[in-house]
Each structure stands twice: as C-alpha cells, then as structure tokens.
Amino acid sequence: MTTSRTEKARETPRAPGSPLDGPRDRERIRTVVLRDHDDVALLVADRIVQVIAQETAAKGRSVLGLATGSTPLGIYHELIRRHHAGEVDFSHVVTFNLDEYYPMVPDSPNSYRRYMWENLFAHVNIRPENVHIPDGGTPRERLEEHCAAYERAIGEAGGIDFQILGIGKSGHIGFNEPGSPPDSRTRLVTLDTVTRKDAAADFFGEDNVPREAITMGVATILGAREIALIATGEHKAAIVRRAVEGEISRDVAATFLQGHRNAAVYLDLAAAAELTRINTPWLLQSVEWTPAMTDRAVVWLAEQTGKAILKLTARDYAEHHLSPLLAKHAAAGPINGMVFNRLTRKIRGRAKLPSRRRVLVFSPHPDDDVISMGGIMRKLWENENATVVAYMTSGNIAVFDHDVMRHLDFVERAAETLGLDGATARRVRETVEASFERKAPGDVDLALVQEVKRMIRESEAIAALEAVGLPRSAARFLNLPFYRTGEVRKRPIGPEDVAIVRALLNEVRPDLVFVAGDLSDPHGTHRMCKAAIERALAEGEPPRPEVWLYRGAWQEWSISDADVLVPLSQDELRAKVLAIFKHQSQKDTAPFPGAHDDREFWQRVEARNLDTAARADRLGLSEYFAMEAYVVQRDGPAGR
C-alpha cells in the first residue's frame, strides 16, 4: 500500500522554524517569537525532552508542571510522537498539574484529569502513581488539607524542573486571577468573570462554568527551576503585550514571571502581534523600508496624528520616529502619494473582481461564509463565476437543544399534512425529549440528535446562500471526521479529512479559493480546517489555485495588511446581514459567541464592515458605506 504525501509529511518530524529577530528593549522577560503555533509546539517539546533526559540522568527522575487547554495540545501531541519514536522515556517522569475546576468529577468531559489522560498520559509510559492533579472532588471541609498535601508532594519530589503555563485574557497563570499575591500557594480560588466567559464554550454556556477552582499559587509556580509561558492566536496579543512589556502588577499575575531567573515566553506571530518589535519595529531600530513596511508605518502615522495620508507633513514624520523614512524620500509628499496610490489600488468593486472563473469558498462552520464574505459572494456570482461553497464541519454542537425540540414539534404537527407517520414522529420526539432531561451540560448527544442538529445547520446554510443570490446547488457539506466527536474538543486533522478536501479540489478544479485565515477562533476549528486545506493543496498538482484569506467573526484584516478591499453599498450590507439572520440557531444568543463580545454575529459584522470603510475615509481614501477585506496568499502556507 502506498503512503500519501500528506501521511508522509505527518510521519516525518520537522525542526521548528527559527525565532524571529528584533530588538527587545521593551520586553521585560525573555520572549521567543516563532511564525506559527506548530513551531512553538516543536520548540517547547524539544526543550522538555532535553529536561527529561538531563534531570533523569542527574537524579533519577524529572518533574514537570503541566497545563491544560488548547494551547499545550500541540506540545503533548509532539511528546507522544517522540515517545513512540523512542526519543523520550516517561517512566521516571513525575507530573504536577496546575489546576482543576471545583467541584469537578474526574470523568467529566471538562475534567482536567480526563484531559491529561486523553491527551498525554494514556499514550506514554508514565506511571499512574507519578501523576498529580488537584482533586476537584475533594469535600470542601478537606480542601485546605488537600492543597497543603499537594504543596508537600511537590517539595518531596524535589520541586518542579520545568513548568508549562498558558495565559488567560485576564493575565492569569494557573487560575491566579487579578489580585493574586506573589506569595500565594495552592488553594481554592474564585474565578474571574473574564475567565468564566473564556471557558463558556467548553461548558456549553457561562452559567455551567464552575465558579471556583483549585490552583497552584504564584509562589508555587515561581518555585519551578524553568518556566515556559506559551500563547498562540491573535486573541492573546493584547494580554501578551501587557505581560511582556508592562510593569509587574497583581492585576496581571503573568507579570510576576518577569522576576524569575529562568522564565521565557513562547509566542506564535499572531500572539506577538502587539509587541513593539512586531507591531511598530521602527520605534526600536532601523528597518528595511519595503512597500509593506512603509504602508504600515504611514497608516500608523496617519492614525496617530488623526490626519489623512495626503496631509501628513515632514514634522509629523520627525515627531513620530519616522525620520529615516522621510530621509529616504527627501520629503513627505512623495511618501504620502506613493502609499495613497497603493492603498487606493486595493479597492476593488465588482468590475475589478474576478469574473467567469471557478471559485471555491471553504467555510469552517455553516455560517462563516456569509458572516465574513457575504458581500463578495454576491458580487462573484453576479460576475458569472462558477461558485461552490464547501461547509467543512456540521457545526452541530452549536445548536441548542430547544431548537431541536422546536423542529421535531413542527415535524410531528406537520406529519399528517406531509403524508408521514405521525406515531413515528411522536416517538422520536419523546425519545429525544427524554434524552435531554437526562443530559448534563457538556454530555454528548444521541447520534440521532447530532444528525438533527447537523440538518438544522445545513438547512440554514442553504437559506443563507439563497439570500446572497447563490443557488442551493452551490453548497457542499463535507462533514469532516475530525469534528464528529459530539464534544467541543476535536480530534487532530487526519488523512481522511485531507482526502475529503482533496477530492473536492479535484472535482471543482478552482482558479480561486477562499480560506478562513483568522487565528482568533476560540474553538480552534478554523485553524484546523485551514490546516486540512493547506495539506490538500500541497498534495495537488500545479497549477495551484490563487488563495484569498478572509477572517471570521472576531477580527478583520487591517487596511495596511489587506490586499483587497471590497466596497459594499448600504443595500449590499443589509442583504449580507439578512443572510446571517437565516442562521436562526445562531441568532439572538449563539452557544459559542467567543471573544468577550455580547453582540450578535450580525452586529459585529456590521460594525466591522462599517469601521473598515470609516478608517479608509479617515485616511483620505474614497468614501464608501462599508468594506470587506481580504489577504491574497503569495508564498508558503496560508496565513504565514
């Protein structure tokens, strides 16, 4: 049997990419920035393997402090691969986990004990007696004793050699929320509102998130001999900058790491986006004034001064540390005109968009297409492009149970009219209703219910397509296997997922492909779908289709980063919003809204598209009612 190029790529280990250089004048802790989250996982896994080997050789065991959540999953997958390759032995490894929700039964889908066994321990040769995780089932009257025993166990193991940390949007490490003192030890804490909002997706609603947790204290964490704080994704960029460049403060527990002698922060480029050396490097060093860097700097300057680009003066450049750029062009006028013209060329109305080509739109969930590109989809169809929209996952976990009951009630009521067996419809409804009564938040639905929820999302997607002018025949529902867990946590992308995507590419043979390129999706599905597309494209024969990246409901490309700005009229934006309305199961209160934003998806989209146009107007570009933004992929995998 032959092995596909995708399978070989997954079997063959690769070295992590080199960290990005740049001055670190404003960084108060060692910070390593890599291009992508996979590079972060590989580099940290490298270091853990080294620590295990060194400490085991020196003292007969190594002690790891471990974290949970989506961030360390790549590290754990890589450690499993290396263990299976014979590169690391866990038989003398002792582990201590940072935290656990309270109360929490150990076999709950949300239990960190279950998370660790499913994602690491069950796949390596660690001894169960060497695993330590705070017990969320400890009676409240024994919690103080339990926490003290946890501290003693760390001390008896000789202390933690290497501690992995994530960072929450409140800046917490472990569950050390704002206000945590630097001398705190393992204890029961009350969770911050921001933290509970972050966890809402995992618990199918904020109301189901425990209000307390057991956590290692700040002092316990700082007692580790080496610490690695890991952050990936744009949604972490703001708090990362505060932790790395801000002063030490109880308001942001992660800033206490600045005082540790051997702590480092490992970031992908998205999480590092607001660090000074990444965001505005000209403030720290001489830069190469490429067109892209020049555009970024001039747009930044215009926004700092509140002026249109063509009104910027030599004094503006000099007062904002852009004298080198000014010197290169001798005067402000040529720079202003050059950048203004480049930005103007990005604006592409219907007449300047592709026509009579084969277009394939990949939508991770059944509503991402109209949320992000409902405007351009209509224009592309009007330009006689043969358009296919591929919905990569069913999105069924994002359907409320009450929506299922509403649809089943309709089927039962309509059964006689539709010529269906009313008794069968009633039995199905009663079976589903009984399952919901027994189900706890986060429990996996019956297979029947999962299928009904899938059909609800598919019917909504069809209605939304028709609302932007496309026929229902344009839809393809891929239902990729990685998503079919019935839980928030998904499987890794596998060969079967890639093969399905590859088959569609072979069928459509697109000239132009649209891909969700954002890295702020709080559930990781967008990122995983993007990986499946990249692998499928890598398997294909030339010519490779042109790839345009759009963003999801959380952020938009900036005007300087975007390659294409698509103007929308008031009527076009209204039609886009009405298409989003067709996703009724996501309307009013979506199960997984993400991003600490209480607005509905349509409200975020409307504000985002209006704001992009308003920013262009303030820069002195042509005035439009609204705009969508896209990045055209040129070299390497999408989004790199």
CA torsion, ordered 417, 421, 424, 425, to nearest 10 deg: -10
Tokens read off for 78: 């890589």
Cβ within 8 Å of residue 394, ≥6 positions away: 366, 450, 453, 454, 457, 458, 477, 479, 483, 484
The beta strands (E) that lie in 369-511 are given as 386-391, 475-477
How far is it, in rounded angstroms, from Cα 479 to Cα 497? 9
Across 506-542, b (16+ Cβ under 10 Å) vs e yields eebebbbbbbbbbbbbbbbbbbbbbbbbbbbbebeee
Active-site residue, selected from the candidate residues 27, 55, 177, 628: 177
Cβ within 8 Å of residue 22, ≥6 positions away: 33, 277, 278, 281, 284, 285
Going by C-alpha positions, the residue among 368, 360, 367 that lies closest to residue 387 is: 360
Going by C-alpha positions, the residue among 635, 604, 621 that lies closest to residue 565 is: 621
Does residue 78 have an active-site annotation?
no
The DSSP result for 186-209, as a single string, is SEEEEPPHHHHHHHTTTTTSGGGS
Tokens read off for 332: 């402000």
How far is it, in rounded angstroms, from Cα 122 to Cα 110? 17
Q: Which amino acid does the sequence have at 5?
A: R
Match 């700092």 to its residue by tokens. Answer: 304
Cβ neighbours, 10 Å, residue 319: 13
The DSSP result for 486-535, as a single string, is SSSS-PPP-HHHHHHHHHHHHHH--SEEEEE--S--TTSHHHHHHHHHHH
Q: Hey, what long-range contacts does 255-261 have (CB within 8 A, 24 or more apart)?
A: 255/28, 255/171, 256/173, 256/182, 256/218, 256/222, 257/29, 257/165, 257/173, 257/222, 257/227, 257/229, 258/28, 258/29, 259/222, 260/29, 260/222, 260/227
3-state secondary structure 298-313: HHHHHHHHCCCHHHCC
> H or E element: which one contains 11?
helix 5-11
Would you mind telling me the total number of residues written for the chain in this entry?
640
Half-sphere exposure of 103 (CA within 13 A, CB side): 7
Cβ neighbours, 10 Å, residue 1: 2
Radius of gyration of the chain (CA): 26
In the three-class reduction of DSSP (H, G, I as helix; E, B as strand; rest coil), residue 384 is classed as coil
Match 């929209």 to its residue by tokens. Answer: 389
Preceding amide of 103 cis, omega within 30: yes
The strands making up 212-215's β-sheet, listed across from edge to edge, are 99-102, 212-215, 187-190
Tokens read off for 152: 């003693």
* CB-CB contact of 164 with 230 (8 Å): yes
Active site (catalytic) residues: 177
